[in-house]
Amino acid sequence: MLQYITSYLDPNTKGTPGDVGNIFWAFVYIVLIFLGLSVAVIAMNWLERKILAHMQIRLGPMRVGPHGLLQPIADAIKLLIKEDIMPTEADKLVFWAAPLIVVITAFTTFIVVPFGPSHAVTDMNIGVLFMLGVSSLSVLGVVMAGWASNSHYPLMGALRSSAQMVSYEVAMGLAVVSAVLMTSLSGIGIYATGSASTGTGTLSMIGIVQSQMMQQTWFAFKFFPLGLIALFIFAVAMVAETNRAPFDLPEAESELTAGFHTEYSGFRWSLFFLAEYSAMIAVSSIAVTLWLGGWLRPFPNWLSGETWDMVFALFPGLTFLVLAGICFFSTMRMPKHRYFRVQTIGLAGFGAALAVIGLALFVPPVRDRIQDIYWFVAKVAVFMYLYIWYRGTFPRYRFDQLMKVGWKVLLPVGLGVLILTAVAGVF
Amino acid sequence: MQLVATPFFFYLLSGLSLLGGVLVITRRNPVHSALALILTLLALAGIYLMLYAPFVAGVQIILYAGGIMVLFLFVIMLVSIEKAEKERQFNKLWLVGIPATFAFGTVIVYIFTRSKILPVLLKKPAPVLLESNNTQQVGLVLFGNYVLAFEIASLLLLVAIVGAVVMAKKRI
Amino acid sequence: MFQISILHYLVLASALFVLGTIGVLTRRNVVIVLMSIELILNAVNLNLVAFSRIWDLNGQVFTIFVITDAAAEAAVGLGILIAFFRNKETVNVDEVDLLKW
């Protein structure tokens, strides 16, 4: 038994637990993904409110914990103790099952997300196809939620939301196909790279990142500007796919009183919320894996060598130390009144915890293993910040404008990028 | 790992798909039938994975469960009227239809068990050597031998799109 | 019984086919009849993929084509349903009897 557990830690085993067939470590990875996603969703809740507030020149939650750090926990407790209302005419089985389907599909996509060359639960042959397919199942949950609520606003919101999600899945699929095409093409003509080798085309997520490593270029910068246009199409389509601003008409409060999850309260609503943020992180992971090089550090060839490796290896610890420094700086600026004593101590404690984590990441064994995970999470965090930035900046699209952008702009541009990518690689 | 769990997963997934099939044909509310059909489709996708056909499983999840069933649910929402659920659900053919269909099913299984390839069907299938490039192999066959059928299928989809739009318009 | 052979998959496919045919023959609601047709097509797909396991990959390619055709057929069938529903306000198959003499 112990042999079974430790046999995976042997440095000779290469491959994810799913490839090797080790059930125990697959479970461990699944539990880690659950924990990581929960922490990420809680952090996103706080970050969204604070960053939106600062973009709108106000402060955001400041009261609940020091600088509102305990606000997500207060929100979670509030949602858990709310009354669970089910409309009388609602279809009980479908009403109960709709949040389940959305959450299950949002979490199942994380099976193939690679945090490192062997840090995924499994590496399916059809990794990208699986993620796109399972995230298209969440449309069913939305439709079920709107239908089961037996009320006008949820039904309209569900129909609009599902029409939008289905439309932008097409654009996402075209962008993904052009990225997958790049895994097997080396450039021709002005794009020819002399020494780079290419692999065979592959749909597996780990294979795509390894193909970027072999070709020594992130696909966002390959066949310039086609990679960038494909990344741009995917970035726009993924914001529309997850019903986030500026494409959030189906759930905008001033338009449709919260859309398809109007009749849901308490814990069921928090399941929709959890599923929405998990879906955001999932599609950002697809974008990072396909175009931004997954777990690879920036400039592996231009800035190569022992010293540059060491410099980039210090980044994780430095990030946490900088965050701890910001916490301590804010502690200095707290009002020096005895009512604020608890908050000051709390903020200083939080800063100390961040500093401990940062120092722990400097220790050589941890530092070597954390590299891949850190770069992946950092790139996904950039996308999360972009999500919040879009919400604070852009006005909302009207529904017909939304559908027009999806079908009349993104689809032809996606087709053009696909054809030009094939041309650039073959002719 | 692979050989011990296969009977368990096969019986689980086939039970789910048969349960979904029975629920599709017996439910009064068409939304419940649609959800039961989604259960059947997902169970069949799992069975395709067991048969070492991951690409077909992926296509089934994306197209069938994620596309066609959304279309069905949309149309059910547009078309469903309350009084249709209170009427008689089964037509007058059931007394003849159900025994005839069961007889037909028995004939099919009889053909399987009396066929000349029964020994091939009954023995354990040979293990698949390399399943990590199923997509590539399917792509090679699809764009190699069957490229004409592929192009005709895309024309068929174009015809279906135009046909569905024309059918559903109010004034042509 | 505990050694799953291809015959098990074929029997499952026949069972799904029988269920789909019963649905097509006995239900009155058009949408459920269309869903039973999808059940029949899935039974055929399972048959094809099961045989592709012991022979070559042609079965899987055929399955992809069947799924594509099922999508086209579902779209057109539901379009016809909407067009008919707009005229006669019913979803029952036995009330489609305008040509009856």
Q: What is the pLDDT of residues A22-46, one digit of tens each?
A: 788 888 899 999 999 999 999 999 9
Residues of chain B found within 8 Å of residue C86, distances taken between Cβ atoms: 170
What are B66-117's pLDDT values in tens digits?
999 999 998 888 787 776 677 777 887 888 889 999 999 999 989 988 888 7
How many Å apart are CA A193 and CA A184, to the nearest integer? 13
Residues 6+ apart with CB under 8 A from B16: B39, B40, B43
Contacts of A15 in chain B (CB under 8 A): none
Give pLDDT tens digits for A396-422: 888 889 999 999 999 999 999 999 998
Using the Cβ of B147 and the Cβ atoms of chain C, whether some distance falls under 8 Å is answered with no
| Tens of pLDDT, residues C36-45 | 999 999 999 9
Q: C21 and B104 in contact by Cβ < 8 A?
A: yes
Distance, C-alpha B79 to centroid of its chain: 24
> Is the CB of B91 less than 8 angstroms away from the CB of C2?
no
Cα atoms in the Cβ-side hemisphere of radius 13 Å centred on B149 = 15
Question: What's residue A132's pLDDT?
Answer: 93
Q: How many residues does chain B have?
A: 172
Encoded tokens for C10: 């074929």
Asked if residue B2 has pLDDT above 60, the reply is no
In DSSP terms, C92 is beta-bridged to C29
| CA-CA-CA-CA torsion sign (B142, A407, B67, A245) | positive
- Please judge whether A166 and B67 are an interchain contact, meaning their C-beta atoms are less than 8 angstroms apart: yes
Segment A187-214 mean pLDDT: 72
Interface with chain C: mutation pick from B68, B124, B170, highest number of C CBs within 10 Å: B68
The topology (CATH level 3) of C6-93 is Helix Hairpins (1.10.287)
Percent of chain A with pLDDT over 70: 93
Joined together, the tokens standing for residue A273 give: 């919320």
Cβ distance of C36 and B67 shorter than 8 Å: no
**Interface touch B40/C61, C-beta < 8 Å:** no
Per-state percent for chain C, helix, strand, coil, to nearest 5: 80, 5, 20
Cis, peptide link before residue A395, omega less than 30° from 0: no
Q: How far apart are CA A161 and CA A387, in angstroms?
A: 18
Where would I find the H helices in A245-363?
253-256, 267-291, 306-313, 315-332, 341-360
Shortest Cα distance from C54 to chain B (angstroms)?
A: 6
- C residues 15-54 closer than 8 Å to B (CB): 15-23, 25-29, 31-32, 34-36, 38-39, 42, 45-46, 49-50, 52-54
Give the closest-approach CA distance of C98 to chain B in angstroms: 18
Q: Which of A251, A41, A286 is nearest to A142 (CA)?
A: A251
pLDDT attached to residue A266: 83
Q: What is chain C's pLDDT, residue by residue, as a tens digit (101 residues)? A: 677 888 889 999 999 999 999 999 999 889 999 999 999 999 999 999 999 988 888 999 999 999 999 999 999 999 988 888 888 888 888 887 777 76
Q: What is the token pair recorded at A78?
A: 């509030």
Length of chain A: 427
The verdict on a CB contact (< 8 Å) between B21 and C39 is yes
Tell me the nearest-neighbour CA distance from B138 into chain A, angstroms.
12
**Residues of chain B neighbouring C45 (CB-CB closer than 8 A):** 44, 56, 60
Shortest CA distance from C7: residue in chain B: B121
Q: Do chains C and A touch (3 or more CB pairs under 8 A)?
A: no
- Report chain B's mean pLDDT, rounded to a whole number: 86
3-state secondary structure chain B: CHHHHHHHHHHHHHHHHHHHHHHHHHCCCHHHHHHHHHHHHHHHHHHHHHCCCHHHHHHHHHHHHHHHHHHHHHHHHHHCCHHHHHCCCECCCHHHHHHHHHHHHHHHHHHHHCCCCHHHHHCCCCCCCCHHHHHHHHHHHHHHCCHHHHHHHHHHHHHHHHHHHHHHCCCC
pLDDT (0 to 100) of residue A197: 56
Please tell me which of the candidates B63, B141, B165 has its beta carbon nearest to residue C67: B63
Name which of B1, B77, B135 is nearest A21 (Cβ-Cβ). B1
Q: How far apart are CA B46 and CA B69, in angstroms?
A: 17
Q: Do C60 and B90 touch (CB under 8 A)?
A: no
Neighbours of chain B (3+ CB pairs under 8 A): A, C
Taking residue B97's Cβ as centre, other Cβ atoms within 10 Å add up to 18
Asked if residue C66 lies in contact with residue C48, where contact means CB atoms within 8 angstroms, the answer is yes
pLDDT band at residue B48, thresholds of 50, 70 and 90?
very high
Nearest chain A residue to B70 by CA distance is A140
Measure CB to CB from residue B55 to each of A126, A134, A201 and give the nearest one: A126
Q: What is the mean pLDDT of residues B116-145?
A: 78
Helices A205-215 and A127-136 pack at an angle, to 10 degrees, of 130
| Mean pLDDT calculated for residue range A127-132 | 92
First to last CA, chain A: 56
Give the minimum alpha-carbon distance from B125 to chain C in angstroms, rounded to a whole number.
6
Structural domain boundaries of chain C? 6-93
Q: Are B52 and C45 in contact (CB under 8 A)?
A: no
Answer whether C38's CB lies under 8 Å from B40's CB. Answer: no
C-alpha A191/C-alpha A424 separation (Å) is 7
Summarised one tens digit per residue, pLDDT across range A343-376 is: 899 999 999 999 999 999 888 888 888 888 999 9
Query: Cis omega (within 30 of 0) on the bond before A246?
Result: yes
Min distance B138 CA to chain C CA atoms (Å): 7
